[in-house]
Amino acid sequence: METFMKMIFHLSRPFDKHALSASGIRPRKMLQAFRDLGYEVETVIGTRSVRRQAVREISEKIKNGTKYEFLYSESSIAPTLLCNNIFPLALFLDFYLFRLCKKNNIPIGLFYRDAYWLFETYTTWRSKIKAFVFRLLYRHDLRQYNKFLTKMYFPSVEMAGYIPIINKAMIDSLPPGHDGVRLEEEYRPKNSLTLSYIGGIGKYYQMHELIKGVSKIPQIKLLFCLRKKDWDRVKHEYGELPGNVKILHKKPEELTPVFAETDITLLFMRPHEYRKFMVPFKLFEYLGFCKPVIASKDTLVGNIVQENGIGWTIDYSATSLQELLERLLKNGEEIYKIKQHIVATSNCHTWAERAKKVARDLRQST
């Protein structure tokens, strides 16, 4: 009799051990979370040839009586057909695995990453012909998901409303997580504050008002931690930076000292329709480090911050930011009270809790 819980973890590309973005970090976190829960995990991850061999082995094990509780998958940024640039074999391989699981009553949950392809700006990144083809392939993915999935997870339920061709009954949210709350030292009065932003910058991440607002208060220091290639692409838009703004280029494993220096974190960027449903990956990492958040109104993350009492949600303007920071400089205890609230409420947002939810949802579906 088998004593281990067994599951399958699918990703239609290799792991990127040096990934700096959410698309590379999230699958690793979820895989480790399932293992930490005690699951014996069969992985279908890697190049086409590696995945093909893994699928063959799983198929053989199923024939020989091995029972899997469920399959969990994370979608890739590219359409499934184009993963690893193999045409059209990757399509048959990955959806063959889904068909195999459905045939053998193994429930399937998939996390759907983003929806940039639905917006007009998608065509500005590539030729119109290429964008047209990619959109057809994304829609093909959705039709396949409708056939095979038990649960389709999104960063937010709001995002699901933008996605066509989806059975609404299988929709649920599965936001990012964090590794666990790190409690800080007791409150000490300060006459300065350090802010930090860690993440992307570009068309969907415009923060000009942030720089303007910070520049007006010398007691504020901003650690602006960005991928170098992203900053090089847009730095001409921001001109000469004020002396209290420091640009950093750090790998994920190098961020702990940045958080240690930080009093307040930032998701203060220009509202965009995309921001009405996206949940930034860094929000939950900020909470894991017990850092309050300043976010913009008219964004989903701004609503989350306000509703959960984990920071401040303000208009996206330099004036609004300046007024808030000046108030917090005079009332540091307000910051510490929010940190205490984060400690008390954020353990339900760990990666372990995200994995538990998936396991519970899919087990209950059988």
Tell me what pLDDT residue 3 has. Answer: 46
Tell me what pLDDT residue 132 has. Answer: 83
Tell me what pLDDT residue 360 has. Answer: 96
- Domains of the chain listed by start with CATH number: 5-177+350-364 (3.40.50.2000), 193-347 (3.40.50.2000)
Tell me what pLDDT residue 273 has. Answer: 86
Q: Which residues contact 274 (CB under 8 A, 6 or more apart)?
A: 115, 116, 119, 204
Pair 277, 162: CB distance under 8 Å: yes
Name the DSSP letter for residue 126. Answer: S
Q: For residue 327, which of 297, 302, 294, 366 has the smallest C-alpha distance?
A: 294
Report helix, strand or coil for 336.
helix
What is the helix (H) or strand (E) element at residue 86, kind and residue range? none
Residue numbers of the chain with a pLDDT score lower than 70? 1-4, 20, 84-91, 120-126, 181-187, 189
Q: Is 139 exposed, middle or buried (0-12, 13-18, 19+ CB in 10 A)?
A: middle
Euclidean distance between CA atoms 252 and 273, whole angstroms: 28
The average confidence (pLDDT) of the chain is 89
